[in-house]
Amino acid sequence: ATIELASALEKGTYTYFEGFESVVAELVKLQINHVNGATKTAVPITADMVSCKEWKVGEVEVVITYQELVCTVKVNVTAPDKNLTIAEARKMYATDEQYTITGVVVSAAFISGTAKAPENGELLIKDKATSKVIGVKGLVKSSDNRLAGFDVGDEVTFTVNFQATTTSSSHSEYGKIAPYVVEGTTPTVVSKGNSAMLDLASAVELGSQEDLTTFMKDAATRCDNLYKLVKFKRNEATFITYNAGKYLSFTGKNVKIDGLSVYLHDFNREMTLPGVASYDAVLGTSADVKSIDADVYLLYIGGQGKYYHQFVLLGTDYIVK
């Protein structure tokens, strides 16, 4: 017995950002022929019958499986246009090809290191019209120049390529693909004085330890959730003092998720809240363990190596009484 596609795909070429789901959407409109000897039976294709090993630029083999029988369909996937939206940049793959992205400067953060020796600096930028955020690497190298010469609200165009930031599966950031400013290129300021505030309604609301665990549960999930604004609900989340930073949980104890602690890291305080002596000054968390009578919105920025899942507080406007 064999199976074969009853009719050809209407569309054989897809853009990278259309995604594999676009192929599936086309195939489920079609049928396969199940051929068994002289008998040919038409079978509708369902989504669970369709798979591919990897969605990538170039030729992709799509596999259709039915009763342990398989047939393959080849489709062509074209590379992204050179000008990317921030939403598209968040879905990119590692490549040496050069692309441009434009965004409004929101803040900056260091993903790893210490207050005296910070590493992995990112300039946090948002889409001008939405609250989509991404971190651009290669510019923020010192807390003495935390915004790499820009001002919050500057709309800036960057020439970037995309690189995988970690290779070890023990790291919180495992699988993260980040835009790096191409060496020798100069970012261009398009406009100044834009709103850098993120829409609080865009936040993912967390109200329990189960919610937090679901958000952070494994590397693939964390990559999908990078640069999302998260709402920790008032009187629910606890902020646990550790080295001037804050562990985050809903239990009053530091609960590790996938082996790593969830952390609002102190050495990013000066990046996001310049001039503030400590998080206690704005959160009111002088006690070792404290829940807060406010909704607190934090931006998830990835992991500090094998130690933390890391968040930043972007400003006092993100603490809502």
pLDDT at 60: 97
- For the full predicted model, state whether its pTM sits above 0.85: yes
Mean predicted confidence (pLDDT) in 225-250: 94
Dist. CA 173–CA 164, nearest whole Å: 9
What average pLDDT does the structure give for the chain? 94
Q: What pLDDT is attached to residue 261?
A: 96
* pLDDT, tens digit, 9 for 90 and up, residues 231-242: 999 999 999 999
Tens-digit pLDDT profile for residues 102-120 = 999 999 999 988 888 888 9
Q: What is the pLDDT of residue 173?
A: 86
**What pLDDT score does 36 carry?**
93
- Average pLDDT estimate for 273-290: 88
* pLDDT(167) > 80: no
Q: What pLDDT shows up at residue 39? A: 92
For 110-135, b/e burial (b = at least 16 CB within 10 A) is bbbeebeebebbbbbbbbeeebbbbb
Whether 315 contacts 273, CB under 8 Å: yes
The mean per-residue pLDDT over the stretch 18-24 comes to: 96
pLDDT higher than 80, residue 297: yes
Positive or negative, the CA dihedral 78, 79, 85, 89 is positive
AA identity, residue 273: L
Mean pLDDT for the stretch of residues 124-150: 95
Output the pLDDT for position 307: 92
Position 169 confidence tier, pLDDT thresholds 50, 70, 90: confident
- Out of 74-78, 127-131, 169-173, 250-254, least confident range: 169-173
Span 297-303, average pLDDT: 96
Q: Using CB atoms within 10 A of its CB, is residue 321 exposed (0-12), middle (13-18) or buried (19+)?
A: exposed
Q: Which two tokens stand for residue 13?
A: 């070429």
- What would the mean pLDDT of 260-289 be, rounded to a whole number? 90
**What are the angstrom distances between the C-alpha of 276 and each of 266, 268, 272?**
11, 11, 9
Looking at residues 151-168, what average pLDDT do you find?
Answer: 94
pLDDT at residue 234, as a whole number = 92
Beta bridge partners of 74: 61
**Letter for the amino acid at 67?**
Q
